Chains A and B, each alone.
Chain A
């Protein structure tokens, strides 16, 4: 295999991406698929806001509104935010620790294709009799009563994509523990890597609860069990517990990587070491730990009693402490730094007040007695959009601009990037700030329309106008991506000029083996350290030698496809005679390809030393 890039036809490129096990290419797959679902979820959000723009609107029917609302939440959380975060984890984390790939390249590919087929399955519900309509939380009493196959699409689709996420989490954990470059101790790891580490642990311990919840839901809906049916001795609250035992850590799974991206940005564009690095690590781990102790604050009005409510209220408020530590550390990082206002930095700076606003309403909601007032109103909607858009989505935009050159070798246009930022920032606050008041004025969430003359008209219109600002901002970002890709002006190793961590020490995009020689890490911000001592790059930690690489494989695609087919069989089993054969056929594809993978030896291949020496002039030094 030659290390030289060859001009390939479309078919060859497609086959390459279908079979790739390279973390950098899988990151691009996650970015494209996650980006697509983000646009889809955004479109659904626009439909919601158009419907709610004026009272008594009939843009969509009540039933369709329920479907749009459910799919907006489900798509944004599972199919947009998480995959986009996985895109950056895949693209950056192995480079930050000085590794040649992740621990399980094959499983990395499998994780992506499981997510992809799960997401496609979920969205096919639109064309096959109606989407799920019980809210993204899909509480059992609602979801068992829902007719048609919408909820089945939800349960099976999330089951498939959830398995992919779990695999990804294990993969990142092992990568970080086993594959750090020489000298890269835990307390020298970049904050984004730390965030990936803690997030992966959260995924590992949170997703199985969702898996079980979804299994019980599937069994109840399709196989006649009675977990959630009180008439048969079941208990509908069990679903709520499982959903939130998963669901609350899930919000930290989303926000911790966002914190990680911002930590990188503040340090780079303030040209200063991150303030309070060890307290940042401590806060990240503590948030991850406390994240498992607070799930029932989503259930204050369920009737758990005052003692349980009080415990969960106090635990929830405690999370404000490590989060506060982080906010102050970011502020102190900027303090006295020589700040450059690049697009990523603008997002980061705007994130602080936006996220703090969401945090403040979070503490308000954490008070169980007050929560009885806020519960299921637009106040809650405003709160979680402030933390998820103001935190996670801002980070995704910031990360996209920051890491675009590392992923694609070319910079996004800064001018267009700033326009995107300004429009989105205005639109975001215009949409969601007013929703706090809508909630306090008594507007319940998840209603498809409201009556005129109740004092809700103007505020809803304002909110809808804001949504259009965000939509335009996203369209400008897309234009920016097209223009940038067409121009394709290549950049060097460190396009921002102030990169601190290892990923900026190698070419953009990196060669497929990342590091020709593993780098020697001598401290936190390893690359910055070398630059400050006047060196051009990292010192190698090993002599030039053969590099062991994994083979590409089509099997992950086939395993996922089998589950995708089997899910249709399981779903239509009751009303069509072909259900069972299709279920068996799909499972045979999956198990058969797993069997092939097991019995076929796959030792990978070696890039030989001589080939690496040939490409010296390309500047692929460690």
Chain B
């Protein structure tokens, strides 16, 4: 099936993200990319665990002083919900319902923006209330690097999904852009999974000292 072909609801195949060779390659290649990203984040988690609470003087804030569950919980809920809405978007993509896909992608982006806003507030809060900064201690470096890398991934994902939505707003779905939407949503799930680990390792484990 050619990627440029004009599609209708009737001709839309069951797995529109894997119809052409280019699409199949993109699909598989993206999974491999996520495999590499897993190693990247695993390395950052290892660094964080090695340097957690390693501060140069005893009056500096440690994990148990910094983290508050309510904020981390709201951020987690926002991001988990955004993963769900991106699933809805992909459901409508598979049903050739372009408008609803755009709508749910839009909601995903809004939720992601909310998450990012709270993260910026959180970092700002730590720096000004606790003098816990990127340069203040090895703990600070490791915390901001791990959580910041994730935040940068969220920001990149937002730019990516928004670009896709604007670029295709007048063109509708085709077998050329279906895999693009699909891998963007895969990416979004991945950063959601990483956040689940951050929530556990950084925030929950941080609470118990």
Contacts and interface: CB of A to CB of B under 8 A. Distances in A.
A423 interface: no
A125 to B, nearest CB: 26
A233 B55 contact: yes
Given A219-B141, A227-B141, A178 B44 contact: no
B112 to A, nearest CB: 18
Contact of A209 (B21, B43, B137): B43
B50 A177 contact: no
Contact of A216 (B47, B137, B163): B47
Given A231-B56, A233-B56, A224 B134 contact: yes
Interface residues of B, number: 36
B167 to A, nearest CB: 5
Contact of A603 (B4, B163, B164): B4
Interface string A151-187: 0000000000000001000110111011100000000
Contact of A232 (B35, B39, B56, B163): B56
B25 interface: yes
A225 interface: yes
Interface string B1-44: 00110000000000000000100110011001101110110011
Given A171-B29, A208-B37, A227 B134 contact: no
A527 interface: no
Contact of B43 (A173, A208, A234): A208
A223 B148 CA distance: 14
A175, A178, A212, A215 — most chain B CB neighbours (10 Å): A212
Contacts of A224: 134-135
Contact of B21 (A171, A179, A599): A179
B47 A212 contact: yes
Interface string A220-250: 1001111101011111001001100100000
A601 interface: yes
A595 interface: yes
Interface in A570-608: 595, 598-599, 601, 603
A598 B166 CA distance: 12
B50 A603 contact: no
B176 interface: yes
A226 B167 contact: no
B32 to A, nearest CB: 5
A411 interface: no
A34 to B, nearest CB: 23
Interface in A435-470: none
B145 interface: yes
A554 interface: no
Contacts of A104: 25, 29
B107 interface: no
A344 B139 CA distance: 54
Contacts of A603: 3-4, 176
A590 B24 CA distance: 26
Contacts of B167: 598-599
Contacts of A173: 28-29, 32
Interface in B104-121: none
B138 A226 contact: yes
Given A205-B39, A207-B36, A219-B145, A174 B135 contact: no
B43 A212 contact: yes
B21 A204 contact: no
A104 B51 CA distance: 39
A171, A220, A235 — most chain B CB neighbours (10 Å): A235
B54 A170 contact: no
A219 B36 CA distance: 21
| Nearest 6 pairs of A and B residues by beta carbon | A233-B54, A233-B138, A225-B141, A212-B43, A208-B40, A234-B138
A360 to B, nearest CB: 32
B43, B54, B134 — most chain A CB neighbours (10 Å): B43
Contacts, number: 112
B147 interface: no
B39 A209 contact: yes
Interface string B141-168: 1100100000000000000000110010
A225 B50 contact: no
19 contacts: A173-B32, A174-B29, A178-B28, A209-B43, A216-B145, A223-B134, A224-B135, A226-B140, A226-B141, A227-B138, A231-B56, A232-B138, A233-B51, A233-B138, A233-B139, A234-B51, A234-B138, A598-B167, A603-B3
A110 B103 CA distance: 34
A524 to B, nearest CB: 25
A215 B164 CA distance: 29
Contacts of A178: 21, 24-25, 28
A193 interface: no
A163 to B, nearest CB: 10
A595 B167 CA distance: 11
Nearest to A171: B29
Given A178-B21, A219-B141, A211 B40 contact: yes
Interface in B50-69: 50-51, 54-56
A174 B4 CA distance: 23
A207 B24 CA distance: 24
Given A219-B141, A233-B138, A601 B55 contact: no
B86 to A, nearest CB: 18
